[in-house]
């Protein structure tokens, strides 16, 4: 179908703007803006005339609120662009993408027309808007748009006449050491009010005043102007266990951060200062969602030190016997009584790699144990009423109570 016939068919249906007229045949005139094509064909009766008019530098462009195709959408693009600039100023980013939401009736009109004229040479309203306003913003910011993984997407919502922003999370990796007992790793809502705030928790909504998560995340959130975060740890230790050595890897995910380039050295210093010896973080650096998946799925051996008390007196010989029997030994652990209220009751097998026991006095010893990821260490010591077998208690044939536990090392996944 030739261009003049297409034009006549469209104009018979009603009034249009030059954007919408030109859009229908845009691929026939490569490198020319839709509204210029529209203006040229509106005032032409032959293909030759179109060619001549298209060369003109500054044609008169027709915009109208009465366009039956876009319903006047192209009269609103300047206003929308101002709103876009306002929004853009609130965010920090290194690449972006512009998208749009177009009213349904515009899309419907479009599709109806395309049943009557060939759609191959036309382009949808949305594509024109995204490209043109994207290009304008790109020039303004002197920044290239990113189509694959943009840090930020600005959606021009022409239905509600506002700009919506979607921001990619920012991930920060680090390692923490926990130097005081009684601090859980993650947020723990008050058990009375479930986090609402009550007298019991002095309106904080927290069961514990401090958590590793809060101590780490508060400063990161402030530095990146983020309201919401997620804490991903490479496993966790009991709230009463210390986390020593080089610390435990974690990634904090900042959801919709306004700033993406925090000075991590400064943040690290601040966290460590404000934590007052409760925790210490190091190695803060930028990370990504793939690393979170890795962190969560990797199996890492851990090395622990535990102090334990025995009901009956034990000798060096007894302790040697334990070492011998547990070294490179697989133990069967039924879900411990202390966690059975929140975990399914099952038996799992874990391997103890090395175990060294050191007598402190007749009823006390210290153990250093390297075990497979997921080993219940307290139960390995106490036996948990026969639910863990074999155990230190079983071999010593007496009651053994773990008193204090520290994590000394989270080993590399490939076992260093
Ligand atoms: Zn239009
Ligand atoms: Zn409460």
| Sequence spans of domains, the chain | 3-167, 170-297, 302-410
pTM of the model: 0.84
- What does the pLDDT read at residue 360? 95
Ligand nearest to the CA of 21: 1
Tell me the CA–centroid distance for residue 24 and ligand 1, in Å.
11
For residue range 319-333, list pLDDT tens digits in order.
999 999 999 999 999
% of residues, the chain, pLDDT over 90: 89
Residue 56's pLDDT band (cuts 50, 70, 90): confident
Tell me the backbone φ, ψ of residue 404, rounded to 5 degrees: -145, 145
Q: What is the mean pLDDT of residues 32-60?
A: 90
| Residue 414 pLDDT class (50, 70, 90 cuts) | low
> Which one of 2, 214, 238, 263 is the catalytic residue?
238
CA distance 356 to 183: 27
> Residue 62 C-alpha to ligand 1 middle, in angstroms?
9
- CATH placement of domain 302-410: 3.30.70.3190
**Dihedral angle of Cα 43, 49, 55, 57, to the nearest 10 degrees:** -30
Annotated active-site residue 238? The verdict is yes
C-alpha 217 – ligand 2 centre gap (Å) = 21
Same fold, 170-297 and 302-410: yes
SS3 letters across 7-52: HHHHHHHCCCCHHHHHHCCHHHCCCCCHHHHHHHHHCCCCHHHHHH
Rounded to the nearest angstrom, the distance between the alpha carbon of 375 and the centre of ligand 2 is 33
Q: What is the CATH number of domain 170-297?
A: 3.30.70.2510
């Amino acid at each position: 179908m030739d261009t003049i016939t297409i034009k006549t068919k469209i104009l018979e249906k009603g009034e249009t703007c030059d954007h919408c007229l030109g859009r229908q045949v845009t691929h026939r005139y490569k490198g020319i803006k839709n509204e210029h094509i529209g203006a040229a064909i509106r005032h032409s009766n032959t293909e030759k005339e179109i060619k001549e008019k298209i060369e003109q530098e500054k044609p008169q462009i027709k915009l109208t609120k009465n366009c039956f195709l876009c319903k006047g959408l192209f009269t609103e693009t300047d206003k929308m662009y101002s709103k876009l600039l306002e929004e853009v100023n609130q965010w920090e980013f290194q690449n972006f993408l512009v998208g749009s939401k177009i009213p349904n009736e515009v899309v419907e009109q479009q599709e109806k027309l395309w049943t009557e004229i060939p759609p191959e040479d036309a382009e949808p309203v949305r594509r024109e808007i995204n490209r043109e306003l994207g290009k304008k913003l790109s020039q303004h910011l002197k920044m290239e748009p990113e189509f694959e993984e943009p840090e930020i997407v600005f959606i021009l919502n022409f239905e509600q006449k506002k700009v919506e922003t979607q921001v990619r999370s920012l991930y920060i990796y680090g390692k923490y050491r926990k130097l005081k007992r009684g601090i859980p790793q993650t947020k723990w809502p008050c058990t009375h009010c479930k986090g609402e705030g009550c007298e019991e928790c002095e309106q904080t909504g927290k069961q514990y005043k401090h958590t590793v998560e809060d101590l780490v995340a508060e400063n990161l959130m402030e530095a990146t102007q983020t309201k919401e975060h997620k804490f991903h740890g490479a496993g966790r230790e009991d709230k009463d266990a210390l986390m020593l050595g080089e610390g435990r890897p974690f990634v904090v995910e900042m959801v919709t951060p306004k700033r993406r380039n925090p000075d991590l050295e400064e943040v690290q210093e601040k966290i460590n200062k404000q934590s007052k010896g409760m925790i210490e973080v190091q190695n803060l650096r930028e990370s990504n969602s793939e690393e979170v998946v890795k962190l969560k799925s990797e199996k890492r051996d851990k090395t622990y030190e535990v102090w334990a008390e025995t009901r009956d007196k034990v000798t060096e010989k007894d302790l040697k016997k334990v070492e011998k029997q547990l070294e490179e030994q697989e133990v069967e652990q039924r879900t411990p009584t202390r966690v059975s209220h929140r975990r399914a009751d099952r038996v799992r097998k874990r391997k103890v790699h090395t175990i060294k026991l050191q007598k402190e006095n007749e009823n006390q010893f210290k153990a250093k144990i390297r075990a497979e990821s997921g080993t219940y260490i307290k139960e390995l010591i106490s036996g948990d009423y026969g639910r863990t077998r074999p155990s230190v208690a079983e071999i010593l044939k007496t009651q053994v109570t773990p008193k204090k536990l520290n994590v000394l090392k989270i080993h590399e996944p490939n076992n260093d």
